[in-house]
Amino acid sequence: MSKLSITAGGLKLKNPVLIASGIGGYGAELIPLLDLEAIGGVVTKTIFEEPRPGNPPPRIAETPNGMLNSIGLEGPGIERYEKEKLTRLEGLDTRIVVSIGGYGPEDFAKLAERLDDLDRVDAIELNISCPNVKEGGLNMSTHPNLAEEVVVATRRVTKKPLWAKLTPNVTSISDVGRACLHGGADALSAINTLLGMRIDVDRREPLLARGMGGLSGPAIRPVALAKCFELVRALNCDVVGIGGVEDTSSALEFLVAGCKAIQVGTVVYAEPQVPVDIVAGIEAYMDKHGFTELSQVIGTLKVEETLLIGPKATKAK
Ligand SMILES: Cc1cc2nc3c(=O)[nH]c(=O)nc-3n(C[C@H](O)[C@H](O)[C@H](O)COP(=O)(O)O)c2cc1C
């Protein structure tokens, strides 16, 4: 057992650093770029039952300290994913979390039932929060009851750890998180991208063909951190922190706030080595502060309770 090992949302990880969904394709694409066995795991790009063409271009735009994307969950469908993508990860000593999508609870359940039979799948992340799907990807994580229905339907058909990925585009993320936990989720992954937009003023057209897209990168980190802290504090549950992690210090912010693990996204496009560097950086931080287990770091934020805003759990989990 390494001192960086941790159990997050029912999944044992050798360290708390994963790559976020949609960043490294289906995982194997990252093999030449970084040592995947040095990190805790990879969340693969959201897969639907049927192939999806995604949105028309332009689908990417730069923003201050981040980017907008409206890829629209392009993908080959579960059949080809299983045969051509997942098999390429056989034998790799890192956790594989498979992100799934759908248009309603039955779609999620169908995929989860199929993945339940596959040993290579260590956990399932439910992407109920993609802003780029016309058919209503976002709806499911903006309504607590819809989110819960998705979790309940998938929980019924799989024993694998289930992580529900939440959108920040809501007034109360803890209401949605609570519903997911009630439905049987083992962890909440937060956050997916924030809805954003850019405009070319000379042409007076949006930079993305679909008008709006998902904002990611360091620009969203303070929002992500606030949402994660709200979830930890209000629900006292396992949270996987995502959003703008770009180095050791930003990863540690999420852990100190109470997240059990973190996922690294946009920065990997520019610097694929960053997740591996963060693992080494967390270890160096622990040595510097004399911590021998990651639990001595997680949730150690010093706060004056009476001054804080936001909901607080009334009883321990
Ligand atoms: C190009 C791109 C594609 C993405 N595709 C997915 C996806 O398929 N499923 C998903 O749950 N999140 C997807 N995301 C969201 C990321 O997993 C992550 O939640 C978000 O980018 C915030 O993290 P970051 O700021 O570190 O990038 C995507 C993000 C980007 C930039």
> What DSSP designation does 55 have?
P
Nearest atom in ligand 1 to the alpha carbon of residue 217 is 25
Residues 9, 186: Cα–Cα separation, whole Å: 5
**Residue with CA at minimum distance from ligand 1 atom 2:** 22
Residues forming the active site: 130
Nearest C-alpha to atom 12 of ligand 1 is from which residue? Answer: 21
| In 128-247, beta strands by DSSP E | 162-166, 187-190, 194-197, 199-200, 205-206, 212-216, 239-242
- The answer to whether 240 touches 262, Cβ cutoff 8 Å, is yes
* 130 pLDDT above the threshold of 80: no
**What pLDDT score does 315 carry?**
58
6-307 under CATH 3.20.20.70, yes or no: yes
Q: Where are the domains of the chain?
A: 6-307
Residues enclosing ligand 1, CB less than 6 A?
A: 20-22, 45-46, 69, 71, 73, 99, 127, 130, 165, 192-193, 216-217, 220, 242-245, 264-266
The whole-angstrom separation of Cα 274 and Cα 269 is 10
CA of 290 to the centre of ligand 1 (A): 34
Which one-letter amino acid corresponds to residue 287?
D
Sign of the Cα torsion 232, 219, 212, 240 reads negative
State how beta strands 261-264 and 17-19 pair: parallel
DSSP string, 155-169: HTT--S-EEEEEPS-
Binding site for substrate, residues? 45, 69-73, 127, 192-193
How far is ligand 1, taken at its centre, from the CA of residue 130, in Å?
A: 9
User: pLDDT (tens digit, 9 = 90+) per residue, 138-166?
Assistant: 678 899 999 999 999 999 999 999 999 99
Digit-coded pLDDT (tens) for 36-92: 999 999 999 999 999 998 899 999 999 999 999 998 888 999 999 999 999 999 999
Tally Cβ neighbours within 10 Å of residue 136: 12
Q: Which tens digit of pLDDT belongs to each residue from 187-233?
A: 999 999 999 999 999 999 999 999 999 999 999 999 999 999 999 99
Q: Can you state the angle between helices 173-183 and 221-235, rounded to 10 degrees?
A: 50
> Reduced to 3 states, what is the DSSP secondary structure of residue 43?
strand
